[in-house]
Amino acid sequence: MNAQLFVVATPIGHLDDMTFRAIEVLKQVKLIAAEDTRQSIQLLKHFNISTPLTACHDHNESHKIEQLLDTLKSGDSIALISDAGTPLISDPGFKLVRAAQEHNIRVTPVPGACAAISALSAVGLPSDRFSFEGFLPSRSSQRLSQLEQLKDETQTLIFYEAPHRILECVKDMAQVFGSDRKVGFAREITKTFETIKQFSFAELISFIEQDRNQQKGEIVLVVAGSTAQKDLQQEKLDEILNRLLKDLSVKAASQLAADLFGIKKKIAYQRALELTQ
Ligand code: SAM
């Protein structure tokens, strides 16, 4: 009774991104639960995989779970795939994975492509801390209010967006985040017309408006986190340092400023030096 639920990532464009392990697992399991079986048939054919497919998508996931759990409980392993990339990442599968965990069925990830991570790895924005936001609401009023909540977030933000909404979405983002904020635009990753660039929002809007091809295909937006709080702190530190430097040495002024701001003396000293030069 070693049945497992494998969560298998598939390519987001270039078929060579399929992993050896993904092919092996998909060949060995008893059943493949796929978001859209017609779409997955093409992928399976390409890799000569003849394992039976069953549909498991947002509309049938709840009642399909019982059936899939029965298969797993009878000792047969199942692989879960989505149309592209990693299942559960803006794709179905969460309910099935949760149910499998609740029934003590081993869930094994088979990692591979994910558009969000691929975009983050290439757009050149800070990647140490990020928040995956998935798709924003399609109605502008709801989208704007969600963006408002993210306005002061300091982590890098990752969004998925449909091509027909990209321009209005980017305009809403520019309105809330400011037209100077940096944004990474990653379109058609791994495909023929792959476009990966970093802009300000103002530049991105004119790039998309001038070339209608940029409103086609699949798109990830990676938005730089807010620096407003940091900028304000920096401004205040400079103000205090400038005042202290009028009467004190660089060392004394930076020590006092470091105590006042609760920052490292080295940082205050470095800034004090910069201000005196
Ligand atoms: N599960 C997938 C993953 O791991 O990335 C995401 C599925 S979600 C339904 C589809 C969205 O992912 C697209 O609308 C687009 O925002 C993004 N996406 C998928 N493939 C992409 C690609 N090749 N280039 C850019 N974005 C892509």
Q: Which atom of ligand 1 is nearest to the CA of 119?
A: 25
232: exposed, middle or buried (Cβ count in 10 Å: 0-12, 13-18, 19+):
exposed
Q: Which atom of ligand 1 is nearest to the CA of 116?
A: 5
pLDDT for the residue 63: 85
Measured CA angle at 49 (ends 188, 109), to 5 deg? 65
CATH class of 116-223: alpha beta
* DSSP for residue 180: T
**pTM: predicted TM-score of the whole model, two decimal places:** 0.88
Q: How many CB atoms lie within 10 A of CB 80?
A: 26
Dihedral through CA 87, CA 93, CA 97, CA 100, nearest 10? -130
CB of 169 sitting under 6 A from ligand 1: no
Two structure tokens written together for 158: 């990752």
CA Rg value for the chain:
25
CB of 195 sitting under 6 A from ligand 1: no
CB of 116 sitting under 6 A from ligand 1: yes
Expressed in angstroms and rounded, the spacing between residue 85 Cα and the centre of ligand 1 is 7
Return averaged pLDDT per consecutive 10 residues of the chain, 277 residues in all. Answer: 92 98 98 95 97 92 92 97 97 96 97 98 98 96 97 97 96 97 98 97 97 95 91 89 94 93 91 92
Distance of alpha carbon 86 from alpha carbon 66, whole angstroms:
23
* DSSP for residue 30: S
Which amino acid makes up residue 203? Answer: E
Find out whether 273 and 253 touch, Cβ atoms under 8 Å. no
Distance of alpha carbon 222 from alpha carbon 250, whole angstroms:
40
Q: Pocket of ligand 1, candidates 16, 219, 222: which has the most ligand atoms within 8 Å of its Cβ, to mutate?
A: 219
Q: Pocket of ligand 1, candidates 160, 187, 188: which has the most ligand atoms within 8 Å of its Cβ, to mutate?
A: 160
Expressed in angstroms and rounded, the spacing between residue 241 Cα and the centre of ligand 1 is 48
pLDDT for the residue 1: 52
Distance of alpha carbon 134 from alpha carbon 157, whole angstroms:
9
Distance of alpha carbon 59 from alpha carbon 78, whole angstroms:
19
Beta-ladder partners of 53: 32
Cα within 13 Å of Cα(204), Cβ side: 33
pLDDT for the residue 229: 80
Give the per-residue SS3 of 200-248.
EHHHHHHHHHHCHHHHCCCEEEEECCCCHHHHHHHHHHHHHHHHHHCCC
Expressed in angstroms and rounded, the spacing between residue 13 Cα and the centre of ligand 1 is 9
Which amino acid makes up residue 28? Answer: Q
Distance of CA 270 to the CA centre of its chain: 35
Which residue pairs from 23-27 have beta carbons closer than 8 angstroms and sit at least 24 positions apart in sequence?
Answer: 23/47, 23/49, 25/79, 25/110, 26/51, 26/79, 26/81, 27/51
pLDDT for the residue 62: 83
CB of 160 sitting under 6 A from ligand 1: yes
Which whole-number Å values give the CA distances from 44 to 14, 81, 86, in the listed order?
Answer: 14, 11, 16
Two structure tokens written together for 25: 């697992």
Q: Pocket of ligand 1, candidates 8, 10, 12: which has the most ligand atoms within 8 Å of its Cβ, to mutate?
A: 12
Taking domain 4-113, whether its CATH number is 3.40.1010.10 is answered by yes
